[in-house]
Amino acid sequence: MSRVLVLGGSRSGKSAYAEQLLEGRDDVVYLATSQVDDDDPEWAARLQAHRSRRPAGWTTLESTAPSELLRGGAVLVDSVTTWVAALMDETGVWDTTDPGGAHAAGALPGDGAMALERLAARCDALVSNWVMTPAHVVAVSDEVGLGVVPETRAGRLFRDTLGTVNQRLAATADEVWFVVAGLPQRLR
């Protein structure tokens, strides 16, 4: 068992590097956390490019269930970024953010506090299963702390949530890599 976190910016080469870390293994489950949106051909093309790089023997599983990390063999999670976005969808956080910013700092309308609690619980489950997995897991995530502060509350909530999850995963990872311009740099 080992846990490897591969961080990087968009289009940095982090997914390709994560795949290289699992070269030669035939027991890989590719945990795809993003689904094709028929209304977004550009996104579908990106997902297809990822699929075409995978070895034929790898199994693809589309899921955001944290329990999927509790399997044996090897698991490639691509990506924690889209996983956190999906958790935000599933917990209703997007629906409770105020796009106009009219609420007091930190306050959300209606079901907002409960949505944040649901999100925190789902993120806790993700990190807990990461810690407990018997598998060799390589997880890919976007490093969000190098850009500008998002203009919207929803954007800031996403950035902050993903940044916190990345920190928690990195704290318990056996290896952490940062990929810049296709060049992997080992952080731990």
DSSP the chain: -EEEEEEE-TTSSHHHHHHHHTTT-S-EEEEE-----TT-HHHHHHHHHHHHHS-TTPEEEE---GGGGS-SSEEEEE-HHHHHHHHHHHHTHHHHS-TT--SPTT--STTHHHHHHHHHHHHHHHHHHHHH--SEEEEEEE--TTSPPPSSHHHHHHHHHHHHHHHHHHHH-SEEEEEETTEEEE--
Span 159-186, average pLDDT: 98
Answer whether residue 185 shows pLDDT above 80: yes
Distance CA 78, CA 28 (A): 12
HSE, CB side, 13 Å, CA atoms: give it for residue 166: 23
Answer whether residue 63 shows pLDDT above 50: yes
pLDDT value for 73:
94
pLDDT value for 103:
41
Instruction: Point out the residues that are catalytic.
Output: 50
pLDDT value for 125:
95
* 134 close to 92: Cβ distance less than 8 angstroms: no
pLDDT value for 58:
92
pLDDT value for 99:
46
Task: Kindly report the pTM of this predicted structure.
Answer: 0.87
Model pLDDT for residues 66-113, shown as the tens digit of each residue: 999 999 999 999 999 999 999 999 999 987 655 444 443 444 444 788
Model pLDDT for residues 19-46, shown as the tens digit of each residue: 999 999 989 999 988 766 678 788 777 7
pLDDT value for 97:
58
Please tell us whether the domain made up of 2-186 is placed in CATH 3.30.70.100: no
Residue 183's pLDDT band, with cuts at 50, 70 and 90, is very high
pLDDT value for 48:
76
Structure tokens at 159: 């950035």
Model pLDDT for residues 123-168, shown as the tens digit of each residue: 999 999 999 999 999 999 999 988 889 999 999 999 999 999 999 9
